[in-house]
Amino acid sequence: MNSQYGRLHNLFEKNFLEYSSYVIRERAIPDIHDGLKPVQRRILQTLFNMEDGRFHKVANVVGETMKLHPHGDASIFSALVNLANKEYLIERQGNFGNIYTGDQASAARYIECRLTPLAKEILFNKDLTEFVESYDSRMMEPVTLPAKIPLLLLLGADGIAVGMATKIMPHNFCELLEAQIKLLHNEEITLYPDFQKKGLVDVSHYDHGNGRIRCRARIEEASDKTIIVKDIPHGTTTQSLIESVEKAAKAGKIKILSINDYTAEDVEVEINLARGVYAKETIEALYAFTDCEVAITPNLTLIKNNTPLTCTVEEVLEHNTRKLVHDLTKELEIDLGRFQEKLHARLLEQIFIEERLYKQIEEETSYKAVIKSVDSALQPFTAELLRPVTNEDVERLLEIKIKRISRYDINKQQKEIKEIRSEIKKISHHLKDMVGYTVSFLGDLLKKYGHLYPRQTELCEFEEVSVRSAALANLVVGYQRATGFLGHNIKAEDEKQDFTLNCSEYDRLLLIFNDGMYKVIPVTDKLFIGHELAWIGVVEDGLTFNVLYRDGQENLTYAKRFTTPKFILDKEYRLFPEDKRSRILLLLMGQGTSAHVGLAPSPRAKSNTMEVYFDDYLLKNPSAKGKRISPRVVRRVTDSTGKAAPKPLKQNMSLLGLVDAVKESVPPGENTEEGEGEGNAKE
């Protein structure tokens, strides 16, 4: 039983590994050498095989590619349209869809394509291409194409394989070639993505092909009530962007009147705003809640030497640049060999005709003797030749027609030989300085094609939009002291006892209770918090709290000031130690506040009242004890206006603070003669 299980396990493991390897290498992940996935490589090779200068029906191209690609016409057609819409390698004729709106291409039988001049110049060379049999052994297909530009970084790639994925960002044509020139000069390079859909991109956290980037739409204010989206982020369409805006509006995160898509050759999405809403504040909300801003996590995974590998942009470009130098060197060496062979053949022909060596074969009776005679006749001239004479050379001379000999032009032949020698000298010079030749090659490409591919995406840094600050305060949180319930499903009934607070779903609420306990909770629909709530407000940095509280153990009153406290959601904290007699007497917000305090009568005191100016006290930790305002017992506390229940402060209308006035009688047996004066000491 165990042996059968082991064999079955090994069978599944072997088949799964084979399947995984196939998906990784043959379908999803591009190769570092030419930057192409197999289906893209087969499409381009098929177009090259069909090349006659005219457009071809895409349906015919798909059908021909199926001879090399085993996965059906749908995947080939989709890959061809995607590759054509990148506009570098395939020239289009007809409706190939719209990358901005997401509209699909017409049927394959209605549209046509062919290779671009750039593709024909930089992609194909039979002398440098290794061919293998296709899946059915009927044709030969390239292992990789000898690409002379870094297509992997130019085109970008997305792919999901088994256990891994790749997400390579596209880059700018000119910037890539300029970076290669810098590498050849041993200079440092910096590369950032460039997207067809333009827009804005923040590369602050971009990590050489990995890391994280943020893309934004370019939004303009046509007026206070109208917004125009001009560019869209990478990976989105106007349709998906409009859907995200409508979803945000339905959820109450933004308020719009209508949205219209006028996109044709350029993006133009018009957003009309509702009454009471203005463009400036809505733009921030669009970035926060819609696809007007998207975060992308690049992942530069590729195939190198049949192995998946994660690299950096610089490593890929260095590899492509070294490969370019190698390929150009090999091309020059092949061209040099061909010109040398051509020169050798022309010199042999010149000697054979001008020296009339052909007359020596007139008396020979056999073909073998003829060859021997010509070979012997050429021996005195071997010093003028580039290499020894072979039988193939002699046979080529014997194939010259009498008509050609009779019309032989010595001057024309000398001119052609001179031109061939000039080419050989030129190639030999290039081979001695391959760096200079490669730089010249890249410079020619830039001069010829660079103006066609300017940078589309603007590089900039933009601050992270706070979802909370951009959200509309569309919830009204109510508190009923009588029931003890709080939430946006609760309505305040008693104006004096109950609270109401406008906030958004992303806000956090700070609750402070009369017994000194405080905590922070998320906005809720309905929650029981009890009857002793002293203050409620939205958590905001930098708020100043001014508190007078009575210490139950000492029966003395303390003043303290603190700013918005740090917190963990739903965790309870205390402003002062817990005691059933301790409680908050007054809580005021902001600067410039004061309290009028009534003290227990004392025979030696000149006055039984005092003013507490909170600005005279230092800001300390919320848990600090504070400063005793007087050694005498406090009987009554009001704010500076004399009101026991202060209204919300004007400088912070989102916060409500209500505290009942406290009237305390002196407990029996209390010594009221302790201390003199008001005792309003400063800290």
Contact 494, 481 (CB under 8 A): yes
What pairs with residue 560 in β-bridges? 547
Tokens (6 digits) for 54: 């005219």
Report the C-alpha gap between 376 and 390 in whole angstroms. Answer: 12
- 274 φ/ψ sector (left φ>0, alpha ψ -120 to 50, else beta): beta
E-only strand ranges, 554-607:
556-563, 573-574, 583-589, 594-599
278 is a catalytic site residue: no
Report the C-alpha gap between 513 and 531 in whole angstroms. Answer: 9
In single-letter form, the type of residue at position 620 comes to K
* Pairing relationship of beta strands 200-202 and 458-459 according to DSSP bridges: parallel
Counting every residue written for the chain, the total comes to 683
Report the C-alpha gap between 617 and 610 in whole angstroms. Answer: 15
What pairs with residue 478 in β-bridges? 487, 500
Contact 611, 641 (CB under 8 A): no
What pairs with residue 556 in β-bridges? 551
- What Cα–Cα distance (Å) separates residue 626 from each residue in 120, 477, 516, 559, 616? 81, 32, 13, 5, 12
Q: Which of 19, 22, 110, 135 is catalytic?
A: 110
What pairs with residue 548 in β-bridges? 559, 586
SS3 content of the chain, % helix, strand, coil (to 5): 35, 25, 40
Tokens (6 digits) for 380: 């005195």
Q: Which residue has the tokens 């000149």?
A: 606
Report the C-alpha gap between 441 and 453 in whole angstroms. Answer: 18
Q: Which residue has the tokens 């027609």?
A: 401
The packing angle between helices 238-250 and 279-289, to 10°, is: 110
Catalytic site positions: 110
